[in-house]
Each structure stands twice: as structure tokens, then as C-alpha cells.
Chains A and B, each alone.
Chain A
Amino acid sequence: MKEVLRFDNVSMHYHSKQGETVALEKVSFSVHEGEFVAIIGPSGCGKTTLLSLAAGLLAPTKGKVSALNVSLGYMLQKDELFPWRTIEKNIFLPLEIKRANTPQNRAHAVALAEKYGLKQFLKNYPSQLSGGMRQRAALIRTLAMNPDVLLLDEPFSALDYQTRLSVCDDVYKIIRNEKKTALLITHDISEAISVADKIFVLSKRPAKIIAEHLLEFPENEPLKRRENKEFSRWFEILWKELNQ
């Protein structure tokens, strides 16, 4: 499998008047094409920092981050849909920014939205949609530019528990269906187990990778995985690692 994203001994230090914060220390890992990778870590350990580095929004203090000939799409914790734009116009936003607002690209984006159940909402404003639907719209917006790799920063944490389970299932299926590579960051152990092929565990700050696991389940949909008895075994393992 082709490598698409690689961290080589990446360290990240923040400088502020209060002092220096070491957020990441010598983190190395890679993500391969078609994988769904989850990274879990305690809150405040440097997860968002890691994803910002991956997206190229920050430059590492030491080490090297490489995206190997792939385009990236970033999905944030909240949907961040612009309330003054309709869902359709929100989905076109990345096209406008990349100056790729062509009829074909717009048609592709609309087709995606229609395929994943947003057809009737295209002309609505975000405030008229439920939290789950909005998150779905945010995913379609991310997919509009047809990125190879999706970077997801706790994309469900703003939703209530019930919605979170179903939206997670939803987003997982869409990502698999579109054959995308995904890197998901979360502090929610069960979320990671329910979607990932591979899990990296981060320590408390400064974050280091302390474990790597390959997960195999007979069935891969998140809701099915949650019912499997392997699920609780993984949960215990990861819980211990996170709290050691």
C-alpha cells in the first residue's frame, strides 16, 4: 500500500510570554492509502496540533511532515457552516477559494450532496438543519474538492450522544464509499474502535506515540462493531494505555 502521509521525528514547541509548551515530542508514524487511522490521546495532549501539522497549517519545530502527492481535506470539530450561505453555497465555498468553481465541479458537489441525502436541503440555510445534517453538509463541503486524505478533528464531539452514534456511522460509510483515506483524531476510545483499521495512542503532553494497534472485525460498520464482543476487549486495552 502506498504511503500518503508521514511524520518523521516531529516535535512541536509553542512559545508564548508565559513560557514554552512542548506539545509533541518525536512523533513518527505514517498513513497509507485507503486506511482509516485513528489517533487517540487525553485531552490537551496535542491532538489538534498534530492535525494542524498534517494539514500544513503549522510548521514543526523539529522533524518533517510530508504529504506525499496527495490533497488534503480538513474537517473541524464544529460544522462551521456559514449561516449567511445556503447549504449549496456552503458546499461550493472550497471551489470558490481554490478558483475551481466550474460547472463540472459544482455538479460533482451537488451530486455528492444528493447522493448522501442533502438534496432537499440544498436551498436551505444551516439554521434550518439538525446538528447531524449540518455535520453531513460539512463533510460534503470537505469532499467537494475531491481530496485524497481526510483529516478529522473530533468531528462528532459537538453532537449529543444519540446523534453522534448515527452521524459517526454515516460519515464512516460515506468515507468508505468514496474510497478516501482518513486520519481521525479523538479522545473518545469507543469512537476510535468503531471506525479505525489502525489506532495510535498518544501519551499525555508532551505527546508521544506509546502504542499502535491493528484492528480487525468481522463487520466494519461502526454500529455493528459496537455490538461485537471484541469491542469491549479493545476498550479495556486502550483505556489502560490512555490512563497509565
Chain B
Amino acid sequence: MKKNVEISREHLLYLRGTRNKSIIVNVIRCAVLVLFLTIWELSAQLLWVNPFITSSPSRIAKTIADLYKNGSLFLHVGTTLWETLAGFAIAVVLGYSIALLLWWSDALRRISEPYFVVLNALPKIALGPLIIIWCGTGSEAIVFMTVLIGLIVAILNMLNGFMATEKSKLLLMQSMGANKLQVLTKLVIPSSLPNFISMLKINVGMAWIGSIMGEYIVSKAGIGYLIVYGGQVFKLDLVMSAVFILCVLAAGMYALVALAERLLIKNK
């Protein structure tokens, strides 16, 4: 709005100061990581610790390279990624729709409330055996697990957002003669956008928990499978490598959601 024709010297100094500060923070962040990896590597090389148990950065790199060479890296990454994304998408879409329905119908919301509270408190992993019987031992079972874990959280988060619409804004819409659909599309959905974003962020985490936990229970491939298998045959290099890959994937997915946030919320 305001066009600053000239920027004062003080303001320039201020801008440079904040830029310098963020550079310093980034440099230190990297240094911490490098230091950590160096100490880890050194203590394994010099046998301060038993590398068989702690693994080491170089062993992890070698393990991942081996997985890549024998062609199974992308199989495992692809399997888990697919399960996670499918579970995430289904939980978000279904959760949003059910929350809309509950917002729309007071009766439905009040009747179903105790059920949601119980389902939310229930540890979903307890349903593991049932899921295997219902969905078999393929990827479907793991997607189902992922959806189960994310769905209730998604519903409750979105419903909270819908119900938190300001009373006075509802009154304004009413005074203009808006019907329920107009209230929904013009007020409730846009005003709950921040809740939608935070729901996405929470559900990214939930989806990874769901898919890895699902793979612990039943799987033939995937990162969770690598972790369980590595643990069983005492190949801790494999376990550490799988955890490392998981970190990279989760960070990537979070970055995507953060990007979506910036695109969705244009004006602050």
C-alpha cells in the first residue's frame, strides 16, 4: 500500500541486522548437525562405542547405497510413501466432509459426540488383528490403519474450527438474510481456513505414525518393514538407515504442507 520512495539508513541497518541474524542461525544449525555426525562417526571408528549397536554415518550411507544397488530402495520408499499419502488424503477428505455434516446437523452432532470421544481415546493399534482379518495383509490394511489414526483427529479439529465461527459474524449473515448454505460457503469455510492448515499439519504426523505402525503389524515391504526386519536379524545399520530415510521423507512432506499454507493464506 505504502510506497517507500527512500529507505532510511536506520532501516537499511535494521534489515541487514535481521538478515545477518538469520544467516548466523542457519550456519549454527548446520554446524550442530556436522558436529553431531562427526562425533558419531569418530566414536564408531575409534571404537569408543560398539558400531554394531550404534551404527555410524558411513555405515548408514553404505547400507542405503546397497539398498539402491539391489533395487529395493525405491520399492520400500515407494510402498511407504504411497500408503502414507493415500491414508493422509483419505483421512483429510473424509474427515473434512464428516465435520461439515456434523456442523450442518445439530442433532447428528449431539448424538454422535460421545462416540467420537471414545473413538478418539481408543488406541487404534488395538484394532490391528481386526484390520488384518478385514483387509488382508496387503497395503490396503496399512492404508486402513493410517486412515483410522488420522480420521477422528481430522474430524474433531475441523468441527472445532467450524463451531468457533464468531457469533457476531453469524448474526451479520443472518441479518442479510443468508441461508445455511451461504453461511457455510461464505463465512464458515473461509474463516476456518487456519484450522484446516493446522489439521493438515497434524495429519501429516498422524499419517506417518499410521503407516509405520501398520507396517509393524503386517507388511512385506516398506520402511516400517525394514525397521522391524532389521531389528529381528540384528542389523542395526538397516534400522538406522530406515529411520534416516523416514526423517527425510517426513521433512519433505511437512515442507509441502508449509508451501500449501503459504499459497492458501495470501494475506497473512
Residues of A within 8 A of B (CB): 55, 57, 74, 76-78, 80, 82-84, 93-94, 96-98, 124-125, 127-128, 145
Contact = CB atoms under 8 A, between A and B. Distances in A.
B171 A125 contact: no
A80 B172 contact: yes
Interface residues of B, number: 20
Contact of B187 (A74, A76, A82, A124): A82
Interface stretch (B49-57, B114-122, B174-182): B174-182
B168 A84 contact: no
A127 B267 CA distance: 9
Contacts of A57: 171, 174-175
Nearest to B187: A82
A74 B175 contact: yes
B190 interface: yes
18 contacts: A74-B176, A76-B171, A78-B168, A80-B166, A80-B168, A80-B172, A82-B169, A82-B186, A83-B267, A84-B191, A84-B267, A93-B176, A93-B186, A97-B173, A97-B178, A124-B1, A127-B267, A145-B176
A55 B173 CA distance: 12
Given A77-B168, A93-B186, A84 B175 contact: no
B1 A76 contact: no
What DSSP secondary structure best describes chain A's contact surface? loop
B191 to A, nearest CB: 7
A83 B193 CA distance: 12
B16 interface: no
Contact of A97 (B177, B191, B267, B268): B177
A83 B166 CA distance: 12
B186 A96 contact: yes
Nearest to A71: B177
Contacts of A94: 176
Nearest to B172: A80
Given A84-B190, A97-B177, 10 more contacts: A57-B175, A76-B168, A80-B166, A80-B172, A84-B191, A84-B193, A93-B186, A97-B182, A98-B176, A145-B176
Q: Give the one of B175, B177, B187, B190 with max A CB within 10 A.
A: B175
A125 B193 CA distance: 17
B267 A125 contact: yes
A127 B172 CA distance: 19
Contacts of B174: 57
A129 to B, nearest CB: 10
A24 to B, nearest CB: 18
Nearest to B183: A97
A16 B20 CA distance: 60
Contacts of A82: 169, 186-187, 190-191
Contacts of B186: 82, 93, 96-97
A140 B213 CA distance: 56
Interface in B43-72: none
Interface in B158-173: 166, 168-169, 171-173
A212 to B, nearest CB: 27
Contacts of A80: 166, 168-169, 172
Interface string B1-38: 10000000000000000000000000000000000000
Q: Which 5 A-B pairs have the closest CB atoms?
A: A74-B175, A97-B178, A80-B172, A94-B176, A97-B176
A82 B177 CA distance: 17
Contacts of B187: 82
Contacts of B267: 83-84, 125, 127
A55 B175 contact: yes
B94 to A, nearest CB: 25
Nearest to B170: A80
A35 to B, nearest CB: 21
B229 to A, nearest CB: 49
Contacts of A78: 168
Q: Give the one of B178, B182, B267, B268 with max A CB within 10 A.
A: B267
B172 A76 contact: yes
Contacts of B268: 127
A148 B190 CA distance: 31
Contacts of B176: 74, 93-94, 97-98, 145
Q: Give the one of A55, A57, A84 with max B CB within 10 A.
A: A84
A147 B52 CA distance: 81
A128 B2 CA distance: 10
Contact of B177 (A83, A98, A124): A98
Q: Give the one of A77, A94, A127, A128 with max B CB within 10 A.
A: A94
Contact of A128 (B1, B178, B182): B1
Contacts of A76: 168, 171-172, 175
Interface string B207-229: 00000000000000000000000
